[in-house]
Structure 1
Amino acid sequence: MLFSKSYCGSSPQRFQRLPHARGAFTLVELLVVIAIIGTLIALLLPAVQQAREAARRMQCTNNLKQLGLAMHNFHDTYGKLPPMSHEDWGNDDTQANWGWAVLVMPQMELNSTVEALNPTSGVVTSDYWPRKATGNTLHAAAADPALKPILQTPISAFICPSTSGPELNDSKPIPYDSGNGDTFLARSDYVVVNDKDKIYRGSSTNRPDGCFVWTRMNPPVRFADITDGLTNTLLIGERCYELGGELIGSGVVFGHAGNDDGDQPTGAEVGYFYVAGSGYYPINSTVSDANNSHRQGFASNHSGGVNFVLVDGSVHFIPDTIDHNPDGSNFGAANSTFERLIQKDDGQVLNSF
């Protein structure tokens, strides 16, 4: 019998290999990936921080431009710059004085705020400024439950986004009450430029040499009085709340307590320094005498300097390395670049700075 071969299927089955299964990451590989990610973050973080600070600094510049524009609109309306503050007569511990910011608020679309506060324009008779004794003094407004919330509402136009600090300036109470006051108003990171040395009450022979004066003793400043040129004179500068762990104190939007000036031991804590600054100490100074006089100056949390708006409305970043000789010569001529920028009529015109 013949036998034939038979096959199962039409062709021999081929042997197929299963794909090789990939194991999990080893610990070494995982650590390498984490190290790479950490390195990338370390490289990118400074760039992100720099971009954020650039945006904050730009917003600060815009704030100052708006304040400079408000000053120009005020001058166009009244033919003069606003005063540093109006005086409401009384005890340094119990009185308070409306500041320059309140006067320019109508030029900043904040009319409703001013109308609600109904501020006086100084209760002391002045030979230079119109007097409006009716209305509310600042210390009365701060004690009024209906008006106090307005005074404690932060206003973004007066806040530098690079400055970290409380919305209410807890370093400058109103009224002062010998440093024990517990009413705090909205913080301002911008103060007007008053004097190359200390801020004085002023008189006919002893007056601030910047653009801002005190109403009882000083005549108003007009653009025509700024004989050094609007492009060569500082108008408003920054003061941050804290720098390098040192309290600098910023300012207060609505005004100041008392009338203490730079000659008084409490001058940096009460009085004009709530709303104005001087060149008595260098920019960004964190060290000074026992009276903390550096707190009357200018400082910022922008690295290396401070933004200022000049009288012409332009904003300049002035480095803290600028030529400055803070020799405390209260009546002497300016002998450094920063002092010349502060003085409005010293005759020492700058070609560049």
Structure 2
Amino acid sequence: MATFFVGVLFSFLNVFFFKVCYVTLVINKGRCVSRRAFTLVELLVVIAIIGVLIALLLPAVQQAREAARRSECSNNLKQMGLAVHNFHDTFNGIPWLTRGGGRGSFFVELYRFAEQANAYELLNGGNSAGTKTGMAKSFHTNWDLLTADERSALASIDFMTCPSRRSGDGNAMKDTGNGRGPLSDYAVVLLVDASNKVPQGDFSTNEGQIYFIWDACETNHVENQKGGVRLAKTPSGCGTITGDDLYRSPSPRDSFAYITDGLSNTFIVGEKHVRQEYDAFGKCCDGMMQDGSYAYAQGNWQEYNVARTIAYGLARGPKDVRDTDGDGDLGGPDRDIAMGSWHPGVSQFLRADGSVSAVSVSASRTTLNQMGHATDGQVSSF
């Protein structure tokens, strides 16, 4: 259609601008004897036609650009899916959600298998400072040991950001404060055991009972998780070993065999909802949840930077506010733990088999829960 309108535009321009010089052309002995310029009416008609055609063309151009951005976003997720399978082939297991509180997350473990080995090494002793980084150290410790250029390198990994949200942003980071580190527009799909959900009320009191997800030494952190990506295997030193030594040699908790619903029937990564103006109702938690680093998970709501719950439905756009616990309070973490995207009408998800699907924002919670659960025996129609 855009080609048709362009053709029409050039046809009108050809007719009218030819008339500027030679509306009435009479050749007499090789020269023009009659010519005149545009009349005011003709000029206004041309301007009006051009305005109408531009108005028709602009939405088509914008739609084409968004289609390209959505395709690039889909390719980002596919790259993650390939990295997950390469990790599984190497370690016979699914990359862990996190190796421990404050330590490297699922996405950091993908670096080596997504052509980002240099980024991984920056966090594993390859930094230029005299004090070396290490995967067993807290991410905050590692981040503070990096130079500005090294931080920028981590914040410029293309497949971690969606172009619809961060168009042209090659330096996505939160450099100071809680939640500091590289930023992302993707999160692990989280589903916790609903039977452990406490009565609703004060969310600040109850949220930990529902969403603790980062400490493999805590039984409820492990047992509550029902998605395809879970914590690293519980370290043998729990209760006896403390500090960095506890996190030096993690191993995957699960292989693909754990996902009994089938790899094609389980979402493991999706786009996370980050509001366009997250402080419209008052900033929460030093900005940690809304757009904190994806590189680690720990308390104070910072786990939501790595994983988001699929249980509450999808955000319907960048300005949507999720009243996730149904108490009518839009403060606290309510508005920031859901999944969603900046693509019109859909949010994209990576399945465990490596394929990517665009899911309508109106998808039912029941269907989303089925796709987030790895072992419930329910197969969705997606």
Quote how far apart the aligned CAs of 1:151 are: 3.2
1:301 is paired with a residue of what secondary structure? Answer: coil
> 2:123–2:134: 8 Å Cα contact kept in structure 1?
no
Quote how far apart the aligned CAs of 1:19 are: 5.0
1:97 is paired with a residue of what secondary structure? Answer: coil
Distance 1:133 1:19 in 2: 84
CA deviations over 1:82-141 (Å, ceiling 9, x no partner)? 1111225xxxxxxx3321111111111111221232179xxxxxxxxxxx9776431112
Partner of 1:281: 312
Change beyond 3 A, Cα 1:72–1:144 = same
> 2:112–2:120: 8 Å Cα contact kept in structure 1?
yes
Partner of 1:199: 211
Tell me if 1:43 matches 2:77.
Answer: no
Partner of 2:249: none
Tell me if 1:342 matches 2:372.
Answer: yes
Partner of 1:220: 253
Partner of 2:244: none
Q: How many residues align?
A: 289
State TM-score, norm by structure 1.
Answer: 0.73
Quote how far apart the aligned CAs of 1:213 are: 2.3
Partner of 2:24: none
CA deviations over 1:141-200 (Å, ceiling 9, x no partner)? 221143x53233311011111113763344xx6651xxxx7xx43221111112157533
> 2:103–2:136: 8 Å Cα contact kept in structure 1?
no
The one-letter amino acid of 1:23's match is R
> 1:230–1:311: 8 Å Cα contact kept in structure 2?
yes
Which among 340, 346, 368 is matched to residue 299 of structure 1?
Answer: 340
For structure 2, which runs of at least 5 residues remain unmatched after alignment? Answer: 1-27, 127-132, 195-209, 236-251, 280-288, 324-329
For structure 1, which runs of at least 5 residues remain unmatched after alignment? Answer: 1-14, 89-95, 121-131, 261-265, 325-335
Distance 2:190 2:32 in 1: 82
Which among 159, 163, 172 is matched to residue 168 of structure 1?
Answer: 172
Distance 2:184 2:104 in 1: 14
Which among 101, 123, 131 is matched to residue 107 of structure 2?
Answer: 101
Alignment of 1:248-327 (within 5 A): 249-250=290-291, 252-256=293-297, 259-260=298-299, 266-267=300-301, 271-285=302-316, 286-287=320-321, 288=323, 289-324=330-365
Partner of 1:152: 152
Distance 1:29 1:200 in 2: 71
Distance 1:119 1:242 in 2: 35
> 1:281–1:294: 8 Å Cα contact kept in structure 2?
no
1:249 is paired with a residue of what secondary structure? Answer: helix
Report the RMSD for the aligned CA atoms in angstroms. 3.1
State TM-score, norm by structure 2.
Answer: 0.68
The one-letter amino acid of 1:340's match is Q
Change beyond 3 A, Cα 1:302–1:63 = same
Quote how far apart the aligned CAs of 1:293 are: 2.3
1:152 is paired with a residue of what secondary structure? Answer: helix
Larger radius of gyration: 1
Distance 1:134 1:68 in 2: 22
Distance 1:227 1:69 in 2: 20
- Identify the structure with the greater helix proportion: 2
Partner of 2:124: 118
Distance 1:314 1:321 in 2: 21
Partner of 1:235: 268
Q: Which moved more, 1:340-349 or 1:110-119?
A: 110-119
Distance 1:143 1:38 in 2: 54
Partner of 1:12: none
